[in-house]
Amino acid sequence: MREAPPHTQMESAAFRYEKKFVIEGMRAADVITVLKTHPAMFSELYPMRYVNNIYLDSPLLSDYYSNVNGYHMRQKVRVRWYHDLLREVSDGVLEFKMKEGEVGTKEQFPFPEFHMEASLSERRFHTIIRNSNLPTEVKYCIRYLEFAILNRYQRWYFATPDKRFRITVDADLIFYHLGKLSNQYRHHATAQNKIILELKYAVDDDQGAHKICSTLPFRVTRNSKYISGIDSVYV
């Protein structure tokens, strides 16, 4: 795996578990009803919003293959923003999402402003990074990374009253191929028949999570939107 990012980040979360459930044959509204009637008393934290991610990887897709092969140490690198896909993005965040076995954490850095449009090229993207105020160590870590995929989905946010357990519900997933020179965002694949539910909690709360999982009518499943996107768009 490539060198890990530095620790001068905007935010560094503690290691936590993420249990994932892939749900088919249900509407997002029905899944949300299940959560709102769950014994753990989940309630909505924020209004639904669209999530957009540009994933970056090495020319040989080393992050993709480390995740596919289930390496103990693995990571994903992405630039994330919310709401409209095509716009002037001044609130983007560069994220290094790292996993060690079953637990993970992430480091975040404010990403420089860029215009998400058809004319955005990989070369222009790297010029923006080089001219930015990102820490030198961060620029070094991503200097050779390339466009991998772009994905977009709707997300709902829920938590228990004590906020120890959080759940996100993702629907209407779309995966876009990203070209090096320009993009019309027409070459894409969808997973609109799937709902991805993620239960997130601190390592010390694993016992309580078992109780929550046992009363959810869904099965825990391994899932990665990045892997699914690469497989859908390129394979």
Q: What is the pLDDT of residues 36-66, one digit of tens each?
A: 999 999 999 999 999 999 999 999 999 999 9
Q: In this structure, is residue 6 part of a structural domain?
A: no
CATH of the domain at 71: 2.40.320.10
Q: In this structure, is residue 113 part of a structural domain?
A: yes
- 186 three-state secondary structure: coil
Task: For residue 187, count other CB atoms closer than 10 A to its CB.
Answer: 12
pLDDT value for 183: 79
What is the Cα–Cα distance from 6 to 18, expressed in whole angstroms? 23
pLDDT value for 24: 94
Domain holding 122, by residue range, is 11-234
Candidates 160, 158, 145, 166; CA nearest to 94 is 145
Q: In this structure, is residue 152 part of a structural domain?
A: yes
Q: In this structure, is residue 3 part of a structural domain?
A: no
Domains in the chain: how many in total?
A: 1
Q: In this structure, is residue 125 part of a structural domain?
A: yes
Q: In this structure, is residue 163 part of a structural domain?
A: yes
Q: In this structure, is residue 5 part of a structural domain?
A: no
Q: What is the pLDDT of residues 128-151, one digit of tens each?
A: 999 999 999 999 999 999 999 999
Q: In this structure, is residue 208 part of a structural domain?
A: yes
